Structure 1
């Protein structure tokens, strides 16, 4: 069984971090799970127990060490878990990206790297202190101590207001036109594109397209109850358009998606529907 617990960041880190997560799966030692992730934000994943890997090429798997940074996904990423596992996650806000990383988010989108490559010894210390924590409260305290050190080392830059506004827009109105979204956040189209690539890792069009797919996937999984008007807005131009989008993001038709079992992806959808992802 997959159990997930999530926690809000402290006020001083809320502009940089969306949530903290603890995923705990008490599975048989010989259990093999292959699923997909489609993350709207970059994550640190701290592997405390288990055999976890991501597919980097057909039938080639890598785990990127005990503390990988996984960039946001424009396309799904196949992941594999063997046996029981315990993973702690830190989800970052795009608007606060520059407070944590020197590299633009587009350099890390749809890929993963060992966090130590970016943060040096702080990444190893983060893993050790999280692993030594006695409970979830201790885990969160260890994470926040490391994050505060990182923000200070980066000069404590302020989160970008325009990108914070677009985070909300992408979640609440995934069918908005890119030009209208740029107008609402007070940027030119060119500025908007540039800031999205630097902080989200993808273009505004990809961000909205992904959000729209996830909104529909939530509805198909029964995690949201959109009104008739909202559901009509989510619908695509025709069935073939809807099928193309589901095949692009999940390599399945909507009908096949409704029937297939996706424990990890479904857990993420549930958190998203509850406003916790």
Structure 2
């Protein structure tokens, strides 16, 4: 059974971290789960135990280290888990990206890297603290301390307030016109696209398209109860359009997805819905 627990960040880290989480499962050693992720944000993940790998090329699986960085996904990112595992991590806010990274998020979208490759600093202290932690509190404390050290190292704690507003819009109202959102934010279309690519890793259109799909997938998995008006807004133009979106974001048709076993992706949808309307 897969257990997932999420935690809000401390107030000083809330501008940069959306949620902390711990995923774990006790599974037979020989059991292999292949699934996919479709993450709206970049993630830091520390593998506490287990065999967890990502597909970095067709049929090429990589577990580059224990402390990992996953860029946000514009396409499904295939992952494989073998046997029991435990992972602790942090979902990072696009609006706080520049406080934690030198490069644009666009350089890391749909990629799996060692965290020390991205931050150019060792992660041994983080991993040692994780190993010493007896419970979730200790694991989250270790992640928070590593993030505070990183913030101090970069020394640029200002967040992008316009992207923070767009985070909420994308999460709660993804059917809006991009032009209307840019006008509301006081940005030109070019400025809007550039800032989204820097913080989210994707264009505004791709962000809203992914969010709309995730809302539909969440409803199909039974984690939300949209009104008829909400469903009408989410529905695609026709069955062909719906099929194209599902193949893009899952690699499956809608009917196959409806019956597919996707425990890791499904856990992510559940956590997304539970925190959807939180600031």
TM bin (shorter chain):
over 0.9
- State the match for 1:135 in structure 2: 135
* CA–CA distance in structure 1, aligned partners of residues 22 and 167 of structure 2: 23
Aligned counterparts of 2:17 and 2:6: Cα–Cα separation in 1: 12
Gaps of 5+ in 1: none
Confirm or deny that 1:97 pairs with 2:97: yes
Q: TM-score, normalised by structure 1?
A: 0.97
Equivalent residue number for residue 25 of structure 1: 25
In 1, Cα distance between the equivalents of 2:73 and 2:124?
25
Structure 1 segments of 4+ aligned residues over 6 angstroms from their partners: none
Instruction: Specify the alignment match of 1:198 in structure 2.
Output: 198
What SS is found at the alignment partner of 1:29?
coil
Aligned length: 277
Q: 8 Å contact 1:122–1:146 — kept in the other structure? A: no
Q: Deviations over 1:146-192 (max 9, x none)?
A: 11111111113211000000000001111111111111222111110
Contact 2:44–2:90 at 8 Å: present in 1 too?
A: yes
Distance in 1 between residues matched to 2:179 and 2:116, nearest whole Å: 38
**Residue 255 of structure 1, CA deviation:** 1.5
Q: Deviations over 1:67-91 (max 9, x none)?
A: 1100000000110000000001111
So what's the TM-score if we normalise by structure 2? Answer: 0.97
Q: What aligned pairs does 1:42-121 form with structure 2 within 5 A after superposition? A: 42-121=42-121
In the alignment, what sits opposite 1:178?
A: 178
Verify: 1:268 aligned to 2:268, yes or no: yes
What is the CA–CA distance in structure 2 between the aligned matches of 1:138 and 1:182, rounded to whole Å?
41
* Structure 2 residue matching 1:13: 3-state secondary structure: coil
Report the aligned-residue RMSD: 1.2
Instruction: Report if the CA contact (8 A) 2:48-2:87 is conserved.
Output: yes
Cα contact 2:88–2:140 (8 A) shared by 1:
no
Matched residues in 2 for 1:128 and 1:184: separation?
46
Q: Deviations over 1:74-131 (max 9, x none)?
A: 0001100000000011110000001111111000001011111132444221121122
